[in-house]
Chain A
């Protein structure tokens, strides 16, 4: 049916790496990708919020995905980037290890995340099998929503 052909339109995702793992986000929610900027730390902010940066006159929190994904230590290299994303309500800068490419993905490449791991991590939208590579597709709105963040944080503390 015609409707289905339109659904199968390729999805464009930005592929980046955090903690030696490939991740992908829908390009529609990416505002821009920039080199690391001077970050102003915010007192008493959660550990994964490194501070705020200035994105063309707007003060935007910078989130370290390494910390958020509980990988802890982070090494800044020349490859480190900030992906400025816009969710339903907010703008964020995600600090990532490196940004690789923008890929076209056909929806049938997206496999549901195994229930065992997605149970408490609803931000996992699916897993993309790309040859040898595994790319974890992230639902940003879920990832950056306050409630989930708090849950993540609690889990972090429990761990």
Chain B
């Protein structure tokens, strides 16, 4: 049996490879048929086939084997990519996914692979297996032919004698293994200037130099002979590398007194000799030497296989753009613990800074003070770096989530008979993994909405003078210390009046309320719970699954994000989700009020003002202030929190203007303390959600400060004050 860890690795690899196949099939569908795409699918299928066979998942092995064979056909230009083929491939993917679920899930074994196998066989004309070898040979011959024709240094056979290099099974295994891992195997024919002194030194240099690019798995003559200088100016070798052909060739040519280098790509299954023209005299004995399985060269080949891992390190240095990242799998919980510990450290750092201030004011400047100042600064630096690094360790590219969407969009569009171009940008944008886990569902909902309600069907679009193919864009990007994810379509947009009518019909708002509503507020109706824009009786099985925009907003707001949107009837809608990079540590504005310290997340702080009492106006029993011509409702923390304090009777008051979306609110405070980094702590499950608070933070002096939930304050204030606002104007 396999250990849990091994199974976990298998599953993770499986997931990754399935994603690769899925992505590349989508590319095929978009008619982006390139050798890379085919190769990627082939490789991924091959890997799954291998590992599932080891694990004993026979059905998966069988299915991937068929997929692999199919792509082998395609690779050899013997099968064309058609819509039908893509459909079959998607079906095969679904079956593979079902098989994966079986493995991960309860161990049921119900998935029937026979139908999809039959389809694959039919598509591939049932000849996938039979012709494998010949097909490969043809391809290899073709490749050889073209590379010879294009190689400028290629010389006629009669001038430079060539060596023969037969690929035995051990070498072939190495090559195949390398191919799967994304390496190339090259055969090289190198000739040294005839009048070269000390050929063995050249040979040694050649080895040294070429090993920068990869691993030499075989040579002819064998390495021993080369070292002893017992060869006649020609060396043949096989090297496995990630570099491209020209790079390897140029490396070899960079050595003095190398006269000529001929290089070609070797593919696995290619059992043909490297060179067809033989060197009449020396070939037989050299061939003999190579075929001896216990010869040094043979051993070298086997050793080569085990060296493949080292190889990746080596080539990583040479070719940064293709580097393999060394990774360690870490339990997410451990990262969370680390993050908490760093949080503690941040608190201590703040405490130390305070202490240094006090110490300095007590003792004035002396050596001790300087020392402690230095320690404090250094500690601060280290903590900041540590915090950054751990934060980064928790980051994942949004591709994790985004990669699921192309297939989903395709399926929904097909189902609804819509033609949609789906563009994804900024896949590499990184987000805290906790955030990533949450954004999937809301995004699925927004995308579905766009396809279902937003983008019209092709006929309607043409009637409206729009291109038949709708455009749906998903984009992630950094904006200051935030990530903004937008979902944008060029569909019909949202009609405020229709929303109002719908809301009235549903009894969510009254007629009177609707008349007082501006367009902006009407649009916000989509966030009302129980609201759906689908016409009654027109709920497709895509939308109307009970996840409303209200849920979307709640989910996003739970991770301190905001949802906003713009819409133009007839032209489309754009939703923007603004998210913090990380959840645990935020910058906050600290204020004092009634002897207590409160923290306002800086994201929501618009500005701070120092107003005189007379600037506060009363509108219908509520206080408002006017800032640059805009009326903002004013609130006092003691009213919100039912405290008895609010001592400040001076003529000046401090006001923090906070805002979320389009709404702003002024909050009166006694004193502004300043900006600070705080670690968000929950109030614990016992207290649960406390209205108006989003958590607590521990301050430098060990006291607990409350984090004000600006969002909910603004929202509750906004709805009450909106009418007062309207009345005031």
Contacts and interface: CB of A to CB of B under 8 A. Distances in A.
A114 interface: no
Contacts of A102: none
B682 A146 contact: no
Interface string B691-724: 1110110100011111000000000000000000
A57 B641 contact: no
Interface residues of A, number: 24
Contacts of A59: 681-684, 695-696, 698, 704
B2 interface: no
Chain B at the A interface: SS class? mixed
Interface string B629-646: 000000000001111000
A61 interface: yes
Contact of B642 (A44, A58, A61, A91): A44
A55 to B, nearest CB: 10
B703 A42 contact: no
A33 B421 CA distance: 65
B344 A49 contact: no
Contacts of A91: 684
Contact of B347 (A40, A49, A57): A57
Contacts of A51: 704
A133 interface: no
A53 B705 CA distance: 10
A147 interface: no
A65 interface: no
B690 A54 contact: no
Nearest to A149: B686
Interface string B193-226: 0000000000000000000000000000000000
A42 B687 contact: yes
B684 A90 contact: yes
A54 B686 CA distance: 15
Interface in A91-150: 91-92, 144, 146
Given A52-B683, A52-B687, A57-B347, A43 B704 contact: no
Contacts of B542: none
Given A40-B704, A40-B706, A54 B698 contact: yes
Given A57-B344, A90-B684, A43 B642 contact: yes
Nearest to B686: A90
Given A42-B683, A58-B681, A90-B686, A53 B640 contact: no
A52 B643 contact: no
Given A54-B702, A92-B686, 18 more contacts: A37-B702, A40-B705, A42-B687, A43-B643, A49-B687, A52-B684, A52-B704, A57-B343, A57-B344, A58-B681, A59-B682, A59-B684, A59-B696, A61-B686, A61-B687, A89-B686, A90-B685, A146-B686
Interface of B: 340, 343-344, 347, 596, 640-643, 681-687, 690-693, 695-696, 698, 702-706
Interface of A: 37-38, 40-45, 49, 51-54, 57-61, 89-92, 144, 146
